[in-house]
Amino acid sequence: MRRAHTVEQVRAAEADLMARLPEGTLMQRAAIGLAVAISNFLGRTYGARVVLLIGSGDNGGDALYAGVRLARRGAQVTAVLLSSKAHQAGLDALLSAGGRVGSTDDIPDADVVIDGIVGIGGRPGLRPDALAAVELADEYGVPIVAVDTPSGVDVDTGETPEPHVRAALTVTFGTHKICHFIDPAANACGPVHLVDIGLDLPPAAVSVLQPANIRALYPVPTGDSDKYSRGVLGLIAGSTQYPGAAVIATAGALAGPLGMVRYVGPDAVAVEVRSAHPEVVAGYGRVQAWAIGSGLGDDFDVARVHDLLDADEPVVLDADGLKALDADGDHIGVLATPHAGELARMLGVERSKVEARRLEHARLAAERFDVTILLKGATTVIAAPDGQVRVNTNATPWLATAGAGDVLAGLCGALLAGGLTPLDAASVGAHLHAAAATLASNSAPITALSVAAALPEATRQILAG
């Protein structure tokens, strides 16, 4: 599992470790990892032209000491000082190693620019001189490697309300930071390389499941399992207006770990569902979970949905089903799967505000409605009512296609029916959904049904390790 900690948590862990180590040891550990990552990024060191953008504080010190190591290996290293409070010992060491102090005029001819402007304690936005340097690198197509986080982003929220660095690579130390996982800042990080510097950290604020975690959580049947013990999902989806949503959501459910799907909906839609999936049973019956909402339109029985929300079985609410939520209900067993527009309607805010502050609004909705929120997007944010947050980061952009959310709702319902908690069902479902999309796409367009069809093989690959 990958974990991201807050600035306060990182600062406390750094202070504790520095109190037990010789002075400067932690910075040297970071600088070694940064220098190696830069060399690997460039594919060489000797003769490489490296420009360091140096602000005040330890972030600039990390960049300067990395520059020392690169200079000793034959790189041409130039420091552009953006603060009168640059790390003096690091600057002296760079000059002694053959580096020099230059200006932004050196940026157009550089092979790489190192963003050592501000560290994790920085606020959103860049000062004019720093912004001008970053814009010059962008103008000339010089890649930027960010030290710890791209300067100018909000580290603890992933928000980017002001101009900021857009990195080709981010090298971070000790642990991931929240901005590495949460859009829109995550999109500005590029690939993130983690350097272990020996921090002793508390439980993380945000986590990302890895394949080993999926294997540990996935409900694999045993020799004495039957279709009922594996889980039965009740699916209320589709309408005469949107019959395809029922077919697609059913495909997503059947590609999960359950033993049976019971479809509840208009007779004409039930015919289409059973034509595509003859193993489906139509009508009410005993179930272990419900998935409700995909393609219902406005013609659905809100009172019946409220009854199901008040029952013992966990529920996935998607699309139109989200309208049944109210802030006064007890929805602890509910997983809601909105996109940004739907979450905005739930909270009574503009969609642009949700997209700009995804973590904040996912947490707010989880608390207000007492549900687990799966906020769909390029990175999926999953927030539980108890404050736990997980993020899924492995999706392909091709997954942004009609019906993909119906597949996800069906799959998450199947995982609930298989016995997972709403948080685990959302986390495992989002990861497998994205993995199936990548498998189906192979860097080309896909359809929702092709994602559903790829789910068994994507699951097999992950379970096989």
* Binding site per annotation, positions for (6S)-NADPHX: 58-62, 119-125, 148, 245, 295, 339, 406
Residue 187: both structure tokens together: 């999109």
Give Cα separations from 290 to 253, 293, 369, 455 (angstroms): 11, 10, 18, 20
Please tell me the distance from the alpha carbon of residue 50 to that of residue 71, in angstroms, as a whole number: 9
Q: Give the count of alpha carbons within 13 A of 32, CB side only.
A: 8
- Amino acid, res. 428: V
> For residue 95, how many other CB atoms are within 10 A of its CB?
16
Judged by DSSP in three states, 96 sits in helix
Using alpha carbons only, give the angle 7, 37, 69 rounded to the nearest 5 degrees.
100
CA dihedral for 321, 326, 329, 331, sign (positive or negative): positive
> For residue 302, how many other CB atoms are within 10 A of its CB?
12
Judged by DSSP in three states, 28 sits in helix
Residue 267: both structure tokens together: 């007779």
CA dihedral for 139, 42, 189, 17, sign (positive or negative): negative
Please tell me the distance from the alpha carbon of residue 218 to that of residue 193, in angstroms, as a whole number: 28
* Residue whose token pair is 């900690």: 5
Residue 54: both structure tokens together: 């140096």
> Annotated binding site for K(+): which residue ranges?
59, 115, 151
Give Cα separations from 235 to 89, 207, 230, 260, 307 (angstroms): 65, 30, 16, 10, 15
> For residue 103, how many other CB atoms are within 10 A of its CB?
11
> Annotated binding site for AMP: which residue ranges?
376-380, 405
For the CA atoms of the chain, what is the radius of gyration?
25
Helix, strand, coil distribution of the chain in percent, nearest 5 = 45, 15, 40
Please tell me the distance from the alpha carbon of residue 1 to that of residue 213, in angstroms, as a whole number: 7
- Amino acid, res. 314: P
Nearest by Cα to 264 from 254, 255, 274, 275: 274
Residues recorded for the chain? 465
Report how far apart the first and last C-alpha atoms of the chain are (Å, whole number).
Answer: 15
> Annotated binding site: which residue ranges?
58-62, 115, 119-125, 148, 151, 245, 295, 339, 376-380, 405-406
